[in-house]
């Protein structure tokens, strides 16, 4: 079982290190083919990719932030992430059938 941290942002990586989040593999982009049942994926994935993670019987833990409008699209450092309430929360996501 592998714990993946998915982020291309240096501030997010530094924040996770400060939180002592155990990670086996940090990637800038998720290759869904790598994910196996029992793995854990931590990051801010689009909902369709998060659903694919869950469909593989892996855990999806979302990196959440409460960003004000003026902070969107701005590269945040670990201190700013802390200021904006960064946290990790587990989600179970399934695709609705048509």
In the chain, domain spans:
3-91
What's CA 86's distance to the chain center, in Å?
A: 11
* pLDDT on residue 8: 95
- pTM of the entire predicted model: 0.92
* DSSP for residue 19: T
Nearest residue to 65 via CA among 16, 25, 23, 3: 16
pLDDT, tens only, 36-76: 999 999 999 999 999 999 999 999 999 999 998 988 889 99
Whether 98 shows a pLDDT value over 80: the answer reads: no
Residue 24 contacts residue 2 (beta carbons within 8 Å): yes
Whether 28 shows a pLDDT value over 80: the answer reads: yes
């Amino acid at each position: 079982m592998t714990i993946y941290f998915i982020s291309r942002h240096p501030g997010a990586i530094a924040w996770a290190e400060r939180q002592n989040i155990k990670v086996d593999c940090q990637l800038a982009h998720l290759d869904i083919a790598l994910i196996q049942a029992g793995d854990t994926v931590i990051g801010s994935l689009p909902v369709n990719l998060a659903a694919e993670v869950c469909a593989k019987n892996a855990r999806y833990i979302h990196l959440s932030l409460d960003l004000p409008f003026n902070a969107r699209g701005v590269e945040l450092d670990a201190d700013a992430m802390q200021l904006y309430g960064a946290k990790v929360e587990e989600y179970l996501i399934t695709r609705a059938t048509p």
